[in-house]
Every structure is written in structure tokens, then in C-alpha cells.
Chains A and B, each alone.
Chain A
Amino acid sequence: MSRQSNRATDSKKMNSELFTLTYGALVTQLCKDYENDEEVNKQLDKMGYNIGVRLIEDFLARSSIGRCQDFRETADVIAKVAFKMYLGITPSVTNWSPAGDEFSLILENNPLVDFVELPDNHSALIYSNLLCGVLRGALEMVQMAVDVKFAQDTLRGDSVTEIRMKFIKRIEENLPAGDDQHIYIASVGLNAS
């Protein structure tokens, strides 16, 4: 498939600038609403979670990925299919723990931070923390409890952005603990037609 231009050949794609700027506006607004960076980080994670629990259904319907056999396969699907589909980037999967329950996603470039600089008084802000919530929420809906956090961030001077994902446990198939005020319907199996 040739790639002569950046125009959307797929009607589900949009110019990422609008997305990036809207996200930036959201973070800015949260910084005004809450006194400290920790609280903003928590809100971004919570909002990301709310997005993730819905996004997984869209992902499963559009990617026709079946059930992953193990956490390694999950990692590959996240990096090569999900990130590519939603953000147009393919992070690399590295730094596996010996037990195979923890790995890193290395993002060479993070579209969320285009045009962004962190001012000095926000050193504790995890600007892209929404992504952690999205991953956590999405995986919870396919019965995986995971811990997701940023290990490195180009916005804070690191050379790459690194997201560390750790498998905690398998969740039994009943309604997971949801966010307050949030009602949703749990996925029924992975073989969406």
C-alpha cells in the first residue's frame, strides 16, 4: 500500500493535531482545577480508565484479534496493533522481567506531546498519564489486572518515553470494580463477530 500523502484514506482517521491539542487543553484545564500535580495525574488515569473500558470493544471489533495465549502475545498486540491503530505509532517491546510478567513499551515519539513543554512548576506532572489509564481499563475488560506507569518521559528530559507494564493477576469473569458514577456492560467473550 503506497503512502504518498498524509490524507486519510480510511475514514476513521483524523489529523492527530486536533487530538493532541485537545488533550493539551484538557491537561491545562485539569492543572487549573486541581492544586497539585499528583491530583492531576490521578484524574488523567481515571479518565483514561473510563476511555479504556470502552475502547477495548472498538478495538476487538475492528482488529479481529482473538484471545492472546500469554502476556508476551498481549504485549505484541498492544504495541503492533493497538498503538498503531489509535495513535499511528509502533512502540517497541523490551526489558522483559525473567518471570515474563513485566515489560516496557518504548515510544520513540509520543504524539500526545507534540508542541508541549512542561513549565518548571509542574515537575511531578505525568503529562501522558491518560495512556496508563487506557491500557489498564482496556486490559481489565479482558480479565487482566495490570499495573501501568511511565518509567521515562521525554517531557521530563529523558531520551525516550518508556511505559512499564506489569501483570498482576487474572480477573474472574464477573463485573470488575468500576469507577464511581460509571456504569458499563462487561465484554462477553473475545470472539466478537
Chain B
Amino acid sequence: DTVVCLPGMADETLFEFLHMEIVSHVYKEQQSSRGTMDNKVCSVVNHVSFYIFRLTRDSPSFKDELDIMKFICKDFWTKVFRRQVDNLRTNHQGTYVLQDNKFALLTQLSSGKQYLDQAPKYLAFSCGVVRGALSNLGLESVVTAEVSVMPSCKFQVVIQKL
């Protein structure tokens, strides 16, 4: 098991624990009514969007919306969540479902049904990241996520027509 970490790389476990602490902190704050979860997550994501911008800036030009979604499922998902989306479905009318069977930010939580009720908190950040990426690529969207058995989850992306 290699312990080598190249410069410019950080360890995913450290990120996952940091992410869990952020979620835990935001929820504690929410209980003492210092602000809603949505606001907090947006703020976190705004800062992360700089990174997302850099990620998407050099991407090739896309011929249509589906092309962009495929990019999200492959290149983007690999860069941010370290693997590709397993399954993409669409109704060809602006709604997409992205299924990741081993979602990176859920693997530390459980495999199965334990803590299922906690899962949505842990997905809020990722939904924001996906929405931020799409926004940088010119698509406004609403992104939600659902989990039935961890660490598998489905992200639903609904592109907003302006």
C-alpha cells in the first residue's frame, strides 16, 4: 500500500473527514438557528466554484446539452469524485439522472442502510458542486440527490430553461 503523495496531491481520506466535519458543524449551527443549511452550503460552494471554473475552463466546446452532461459524468466526476458516473439517464427534455454506485463522499459513512437518514446532509455539498459546474458551462439547474443503499446514490439534474 503506497504512502507516496506527489506534490499537488492531497489524500482523499483527509478530504472526506474534513467534509464530514463541515457537515457536522453546519448542522450544529443550524440547530442554534444561525442560518439555514442551504445558505451555508451555498457559501461553501461559492468558494469551491473557483476550482470548478478552472476545471471546466479548458474543456472542449460542446455541441449540445447532452454533450455537457456526458462531460460532467466522465471528466468532471473523475476529477472531483475520482470515478465516472455509472449510469446516465435522460428524458431528453432537460431532466437527467446520474447514478454513482460508489459515491466518494458516502463511502466513509456506511455501506447499506445504516445512517440512511443522515445521507442527505452529506450530499448537499456535492449537489452544489455539480450545480456550480453546470452554471460555469452555461446551464442553470436544480440538482438534488437521493440515496437508498449506501454508497450508491442518484443525482437528479433538471436544467432550467430561461
Contact = CB atoms under 8 A, between A and B. Distances in A.
Given A29-B43, A86-B5, A87-B11, A18 B18 contact: no
B21 A51 contact: yes
A19 B15 contact: yes
A17 B45 CA distance: 14
Interface in A1-43: 1, 3, 6, 8-26, 28-30, 32-33, 43
B47 A86 contact: no
A158 interface: no
Interface residues of B, number: 40
Interface string B11-55: 111110111011011101100001100001001111110110010
B17 to A, nearest CB: 4
- The secondary structure that dominates the B interface is helix
A51 B18 contact: yes
B31 to A, nearest CB: 11
Most buried by A among B14, B22, B35: B14
A62 interface: yes
B79 interface: yes
Nearest to A115: B50
Contacts of A3: 6
B162 interface: no
Contact of A8 (B9, B14, B15, B45): B9
A160 interface: no
Nearest to A64: B1
Contact of A50 (B2, B21, B51): B21
B57 to A, nearest CB: 13
A14 B54 contact: no
Interface of B: 1-15, 17-19, 21-22, 24-26, 28-29, 34-35, 40, 43-48, 50-51, 54, 79-80, 82
20 contacts: A6-B8, A8-B9, A12-B11, A14-B12, A15-B79, A16-B10, A18-B15, A21-B50, A22-B18, A25-B46, A28-B43, A30-B25, A33-B29, A51-B21, A55-B14, A62-B1, A64-B1, A84-B5, A85-B3, A86-B5
List the 5 closest A-B pairs by CB distance, nearest first: A25-B47, A16-B10, A88-B5, A25-B44, A19-B10
